[in-house]
Amino acid sequence: MLHAYIPILILLVVVLGFVATNLGVSELLGRSRKNVGKKEAYECGMEPHGSARIRLSIHFYLVAVLFILFDVESIFLVLWAVGANTFNAQGVGAFVLVEILAFVAILGLALAYVWRKGGLEWDR
């Protein structure tokens, strides 16, 4: 059983060796330039102004929830549509259809919540 994981272990060792080699070579051969600006928080050439601790509107979080809803829904619906013929061939098509409808209903409730909270009002 553990023999199936040996290729993954070998790949992990190769990747870690590659990373360690690249870091070591760049540390040895790369030029290091000391600069006062490198120790600052921003290296873009502009002086930072204002506080980094500003309050964000709840609208940003609602947009993030809305993105996750549509993203997750589209991924699962595409996967379900690709495997729909396989589900019907195995005789579990009706069961999977009920599960997908429940999934879409839960996402619909979440979308209704975001809509109720004003997450679809883009001009705020």
Q: Which one is predicted more confidently, 32 or 89?
A: 32
Dihedral angle sign, alpha carbons of residues 46, 49, 53, 55 = negative
Query: What amino acid is encoded at 50 in this protein?
Result: G
Instruction: With CA atoms as reference, report the closest residue to 119 among 73, 76, 57.
Output: 57
Number of domain units in the chain: 2
The Cα–Cα gap between 106 and 111 comes to 9
Whether residues 111 and 63 share a domain: the answer is: yes
Structural domain that includes position 28: 2-39
* Any domain includes 11: yes
Q: Is it the case that residue 38 has pLDDT exceeding 70? A: no
**pLDDT for res 41:** 67
Q: How far apart are CA 80 and CA 101, in angstroms?
A: 11
Residue 42 burial by Cβ neighbours in a 10 Å radius (0-12, 13-18, 19+): exposed
Do 25 and 74 share a domain, yes or no? Answer: no
Task: Please tell me whether residues 35 and 65 are part of one structural domain.
Answer: no
Helix (H) or strand (E) holding 99: helix 93-116
Number of neighbouring beta carbons within 10 Å of residue 119: 21
In this prediction the pTM is 0.46
Residue 94 placed within a domain: yes
Closest by alpha carbon to 76, among 86, 68, 66? 68
Does pLDDT of 43 surpass 60? no
Angle at 82 between CA 81 and CA 85, to 5 degrees: 85
| 44 in any annotated domain | no
Task: Name the pLDDT band for 17 (thresholds 50, 70, 90).
Answer: very high
